[in-house]
Every structure is written in C-alpha cells, then in structure tokens.
Amino acid sequence: MDSNILPIYLYGADVLRETAREADLSEREHIATLVEEMKNTLKSADGCGLAAPQVGVSERILIVDGTVVADVYDYLKDFRRTMINPVLLEESKEQCTYSEGCLSVPGIYAEVRRPSKIKVEYYNEDLEKVTEEFDKFACRMIQHEMEHLEGHLFVDNVAPIRRKMITRKLQNIAKGRISARYKTRQ
C-alpha cells in the first residue's frame, strides 16, 4: 500500500462543494489505497474525521477515528470506522449542540446543532454491508463527514450572527492566507 500523506483541500476549493459520486465497489484496489492514504493523512493532521472530497477525491468514502478524542470522550477509545457509500437511514428528533472544527476550515470552531442519534448503512473496508446506530460524539463525527459527501461544510450550519463573525476568516482561508500544521491545497 502507498503510505502517502495527501494534501487537505481548504475552504474555497470546488471539490468541497460537489456532491460526491458513489464509490465503485468493483475498484477494490483503488478503494483500499485511498482509504490507507486517508488514514495516514488524518493521522498526520491529528484529526478525528476525513471525507474523500477533503483530499480532492469526489467519492462517497469517509473515515472517523475517535481515539484522538478519547481523553475527552473515553467511550471512543476503540472507535474507528471506514464508511464507503454511507446512507443515512434514520435520525432522531432530539438534537444536541457541540463545538465543531474541520481540517478544511483551519482555526475556526463553532457550535453546531445536529440530531443526537443516527442510523447509517454503509460498506466497511472489507466491502461488507453494515447497518449501525450511533449516538453521542461518534454520531457527531459521522454526520460532519457525511455532510462533506453532499458538498456541505459545518460552517454552513452555524447561526447567522456567528457566520457573519467568521466571514473574514473564511475569505482568508479561501485566498490561501492561512497556515496549517498539515499539508494543504486550495
């Protein structure tokens, strides 16, 4: 497997606003390589989730790794998922609010309200179909990454007043006036 670390595309990149296409499950080698590269990229950026569009690939693949936030959420100490072609089956009416950030929007954090529980059907790394329910912060990470597959970013969900407050920072990111501790691309 190629152990490359891919650049993370930043706010303003067209690929982040596209609706990602389904991954072709017959392309096992491509999927395995991409997932491995995404894992290496996520680890090097010290993040807890990454969707394929964030590395410039408009396919419905995401990874989440709760182990990096296990010091805060101890129930995530062994939580890792690779989701290929995930589909949201159900979401709870109850919602909760957490502060979110994103590797594609460095330096910006904001409170986002989302459903507290979801049920998702997806293919795992072995290309087996899985249906699973998630809650708490695991649910949050997955919803955040699934949004990337639809061409949305967490900043699209913030309150209008907060959005106005971060507009200049977003413009600076889009113009490349930002530094991140990981490899990036406009």
Average confidence (pLDDT) over 63-90:
96
What pLDDT, on a 0 to 100 scale, did the predictor assign at position 1? 39
Average confidence (pLDDT) over 68-73:
93
pLDDT at 70 > cutoff 80: yes
Q: Which residue has the tokens 């639809």?
A: 150
Torsion sign across C-alpha atoms 49, 133, 24, 13: negative
pLDDT at 59 > cutoff 60: yes
pLDDT at 2 > cutoff 50: no
pLDDT at 106 > cutoff 60: yes
What pLDDT, on a 0 to 100 scale, did the predictor assign at position 5? 95
Question: 30: annotated binding-site residue?
Answer: no
pLDDT at 164 > cutoff 70: yes
Average pLDDT of the chain, as a whole number: 95
What pLDDT, on a 0 to 100 scale, did the predictor assign at position 81? 98
- The percent of residues in the chain predicted with pLDDT above 90, rounded, is 94
Which pLDDT tens digit goes with each residue over 123-163?
999 999 999 999 999 999 999 999 999 999 999 999 899 99
Task: For residue 125, count other CB atoms closer than 10 A to its CB.
Answer: 15
Question: 102: annotated binding-site residue?
Answer: yes
Backbone angles phi, psi at 43, to 5 degrees: -60, -45
pLDDT class of 107 with cuts at 50, 70, 90: very high
Question: Considering only 1-5, 22-26, 111-115, 182-186, which range has the smallest mean pLDDT?
Answer: 1-5
Which residues does the annotation mark as catalytic? 145
Contacts of 183 (CB under 8 A, 6+ apart): 5, 6, 7, 8, 41, 44
**Tokens for 39?**
């894992």
- Quote the CA–CA distance of 64 and 58 in Å, as a whole number: 17
What pLDDT, on a 0 to 100 scale, did the predictor assign at position 3? 58
pLDDT class of 100 with cuts at 50, 70, 90: very high
Calculate ∠ Cα 7-10-63, nearest 5°. 60
DSSP letter assigned to residue 27: -
